[in-house]
Amino acid sequence: MKKGRPSTLMRVVPLLALFACLGLMQPGKAAVDTSINISGDYDISYNWADGQSFTNKRGGDNFEVLQRLRIFTTVRVSERLQLFSLIRILPNRWGNSSPDHIGACYGLDADSVSLRSRHLYLDWQPLDDLRIRMGMIPTALPFAAFRNGVLDTVAGGIHASYAITDFLNIEGFWARPYDDYDKHESSNKMDLIYAALPMNFTAQKLQFHPWFLYAIIGKNSSYWNDRIPAVTFGGPQTTVDDNGRAWWAGFSTKFSPDNWIFKYDFAYGSLKSEEGGFNYNASGWYTALAVDYKLGWGIPGIFGWYASGSDADDAYDDNKWGTMPTISTFGDGFAPTSFGFKDGQSVNRDGVVSWVPSGKWGVGLQVTDISFIEDLKHTIRVAYYMGTNDKDLAADKRALANTRRDFVMMTKGDHAIEVNFNHTYNIYKNLILGIDMGYINMDRCKEWGSERNIDDAWAVSVGFKYKF
């Protein structure tokens, strides 16, 4: 065991002891009438993939196995007071000894397991129409067509919701997703302030959710894991300097008359940092639409989105970017497809093109929930997307440096075709087999030079999920 690191046994045993104590508690026997509900899931994914860099074939094996365990606990005192937690063992990659995916072949010791509390928050209701959450909370902006492309993460904060009428609520939160405490400077924090007016007209089968988000960005606070900026706009990988400010406004709506489902999202965002050594301005928008029709055997649909892009002269000469800034989307992220974007069933499967909509537009056709056999469902999807950035950005080698693992820059001269063929089968009530098959053919404009020669990307994932 490495010096200074407690063994996994020392970390896991107290946790198991706590669960055991909770399990022994019965309603009516505790100091208060407390109920305990423990559930979870265990995933194993066998993944084959290649060409995901779009420049050169990935070195090493094209095959990997990942596993993950999540334990959900709800401690309920009453309908007005509950405690929620999610504890997970981070995905283990079989045979890999890296810090992030330590090889499960070593066994469950300090060098093979990363045990982490993901969610931990108190949910209480001081008034009949007022609900408050405090702690480490899943924090995402509203969405209808796809998951939100601005913010989707877990952050410490306080969320509140108040029912004004039967159809109108007011909600808001203050959250602190990043705090670079190691610098010991008061300005090294990011604070988010959110407000919304969700409306649900049940009789009309209409939902409308306008929202607003404001971010105060301190020096060094905008970096995740010292590598990837938490606030990005498709530009240079650098931190926002002191007194950075950003804001977003948008809405989502859903209308479902009879068998139709209409879903629409819109968002506009702006980032300014005009003090210190880095002066950046970025503003842009995106819109997304999806239309589905429910049939007895499946749900055919059409979808599309458009997000603004950047002009080369404005971007690199004046530091004015036309792409919408986004905050960390390491929860799920924008996901119109299951391979290029982050909507797959595989454990820890990231979108190979992007987690955000910025600088791209696309259209697609799909049929989901296809079922002719009990417990077996299929999804077929074809999507075509292009970049909305100036082609001259590709000629500037700085653009290559800005192609990050969650953002592949695409210009107006770049386009891609993606095909998804996904399946789920309920082997037993608590055991699900999931198979994802994805393929992307991408073509880049001549301005990319030698980087224009790229490979097709493909992936096949076979996963098992056990729920308890």
Residues 113 and 193 in one domain: no
120, 137, 159 - which closes a domain: 120
Residues 115 and 217 in one domain: no
Helix, strand, or coil here: 317? helix
The domain that holds 299 is classified in CATH as 2.40.160.100
> Tens of pLDDT along the chain (468 residues)?
444 444 444 454 445 444 444 444 444 444 567 899 999 999 999 999 887 666 544 445 688 888 989 999 999 999 899 999 999 887 788 876 555 545 555 445 445 556 677 899 999 999 999 999 999 999 989 999 988 888 888 889 999 999 999 999 999 999 998 877 665 566 678 899 999 999 999 988 999 999 999 998 877 676 655 555 667 766 655 555 556 889 999 999 999 999 999 999 999 999 887 655 456 788 999 999 999 999 999 999 999 999 999 888 887 667 788 889 888 656 667 889 999 887 677 776 677 888 888 889 999 999 999 999 999 999 999 999 999 999 888 877 655 554 444 567 888 999 999 999 999 999 999 999 999 999 999 998 888 877 777 778 899 999 999 999
Handedness of CA 234, 236, 240, 245 (dihedral sign): negative
Residues 133 and 31 in one domain: no
Residues 440 and 408 in one domain: yes
Residues 343 and 438 in one domain: yes
120, 142, 163 - which closes a domain: 120
Provide the 10 A C-beta neighbour count for residue 61: 9
Whole-number Å distance between alpha carbons of 99 and 116: 14
Residues 373 and 325 in one domain: yes
Pairing of β 320-321 and β 280-293: parallel
Residues 24 and 74 in one domain: yes
Q: Count how many domains the chain has.
A: 2
Whole-number Å distance between alpha carbons of 416 and 42: 34
Task: Tell me which residue range forms the domain holding 61.
Answer: 1-120
Whole-number Å distance between alpha carbons of 326 and 340: 18
Residues 291 and 389 in one domain: yes
Residues 291 and 431 in one domain: yes
Whole-number Å distance between alpha carbons of 144 and 409: 25
Residues 101 and 159 in one domain: no
70, 91, 120 - which closes a domain: 120
Residues 34 and 140 in one domain: no
